[in-house]
Amino acid sequence: MSESDWTLQSMISASPRHAAEDPPWARRTLTAVALVFLALFLGLPLLVVFAHALSAGLDSFGNAVSDPAALSAIRLTLLVAAISVPLNAVFGVSAAWCIAKFDFPGKRLLITAIDLPFAVSPVVSGLVFVLLFGAQGLLGPWLQDHGIRIIFAVPGIVLATLFITFPFVARELIPLMQEQGPEEEQAALSLGASGWQMFWRVTLPNVRFGLLYGIVLLNARAMGEFGAVSVVSGHIRGRTNTMPLHVEILYNEYQTAAAFAVASLLALLALVTLCLKHFLEWRMGRRQGAADAA
């Protein structure tokens, strides 16, 4: 930047900015409207979860979350997340690699197809697996003959969760890898690195925060999914209940304090997710579009 550019720059930023500023009354009114809206719709519900979770005292909170049915729901939720997160993360990296670093016909269509699960209602996402693997489903009779249970069992819950959380990592990595371009990888190869060396030493470190970001969102959705899992699970207590389903059962049995006790664990997960998301956005030095977490 030359000397004269500098002068010009400082002249522009020194020029009075008030020209386009809002009058104080508008400023105050708009801020008040925004804060009241957010306090009512976000702050108050968050407060309610924790207030009701502890409303019957710490002992009953402890009993509610250490009840055998609650423990088995927590175990199942962790298991489902432990399967879905790595599978969809590997898929996301693979899809982002071929879409971001290569040109091929049908790329736009492929990106749209990857977005599909976000557009489909969770209930419909569960239903398709019932139609495929249920007792009256297309593959139902064959599965029954071979003694394989998918619907109303853990495999169905895993499949529905995989479907629902399918796009998270791919969506995060595609724009990131596109932005970075192929130059660094090409340099690594021309210096004699093998394909895997290039991947582990160049590609993965370059996208690590974006990958983590996608994984954090994917994990939150996998642990919290309700609609799709509810359709395929059969609600067998102690066997096919995840945490959100356990919350529903307790709530419908009027065990409100216990329902909120388990719900508060999920709300804590949400808060941890938001903190991690915020941290990763700060590390990446950018803001996320809304569609990411849809």
Partner 1 sequence: MRQPRRILPGFGLTLGYTLVYLSLLVLLPLGALFVKTASLSWSEFAAAAFSERALAAYRLTFGASFLAAAVNAVLGLVVAWVLVRYQFLGKGLVDGLVDLPFALPTAVAGITLTTLLAPNGWVGSLLQPLGIEAAYTPLGIVIALTFIGLPFVVRTVQPVLEDLEQEVEDAASSLGAPRWQTFRRVLLPAISPALLAGFTLAFARAVGEYGSVVFISGNMPMKTEIAPLLIVTKLEQYEYAGATAIAVVMLVVSLALLLVIQGLQALASRRGRSVKAGT
Q: Which amino acid is at 195?
A: G
Decide whether 82 or 119 has the Cβ nearer to partner 1: 119
Decide whether 57 or 181 has the Cβ nearer to partner 1: 181
Q: Say whether residue 153 binds partner 1 (CB under 8 A).
A: no
User: Given the rule CB under 8 A, which of 3-11, 65-73, 178-186, 206-214 is the region that contacts partner 1?
Assistant: 178-186
Q: Cα(213)–Cα(168) distance, rounded to whole angstroms?
A: 9
User: Three-state SS for 207?
Assistant: helix
Decide whether 68 or 106 has the Cβ nearer to partner 1: 106
Tokens read off for 228? 């799709």
Decide whether 209 or 263 has the Cβ nearer to partner 1: 263
How far is C-alpha 101 from the chain's CA centre? 25
Least distance in angstroms from the C-beta of 257 to partner 1:
11
Q: Cα(161)–Cα(79) distance, rounded to whole angstroms?
A: 11
User: Given the rule CB under 8 A, which of 57-65, 68-76, 111-119, 207-215 is the region that contacts partner 1?
Assistant: 111-119
Q: Which of 71, 86, 186, 253 forms a contact with partner 1 (CB under 8 A)?
A: 186
Binding mask 31-50 for partner 1 (x = CB under 8 A): x-xxx-xx--xxxxxx-xx-
Q: Which of 6, 7, 27, 71 forms a contact with partner 1 (CB under 8 A)?
A: 27
- 127-148 burial, b for 16+ CB within 10 Å, e for fewer? bbbbebbbeebeebeebeeeee
Q: Which of 240, 248, 261, 280 forms a contact with partner 1 (CB under 8 A)?
A: 248
Q: Look-up: residue for tokens 């697996």?
A: 129
Q: Say whether residue 71 binds partner 1 (CB under 8 A).
A: no
Q: Say whether residue 141 binds partner 1 (CB under 8 A).
A: no
Q: Looking at the chain, list the stretches that DSSP marks H as alpha helix, in order from N- to C-terminal side.
A: 3-14, 24-38, 44-53, 57-66, 68-101, 107-119, 122-133, 140-145, 154-164, 168-180, 183-190, 195-198, 204-224, 227-233, 243-252, 256-284
Q: Say whether residue 267 binds partner 1 (CB under 8 A).
A: yes
Least distance in angstroms from the C-beta of 63 to partner 1:
19
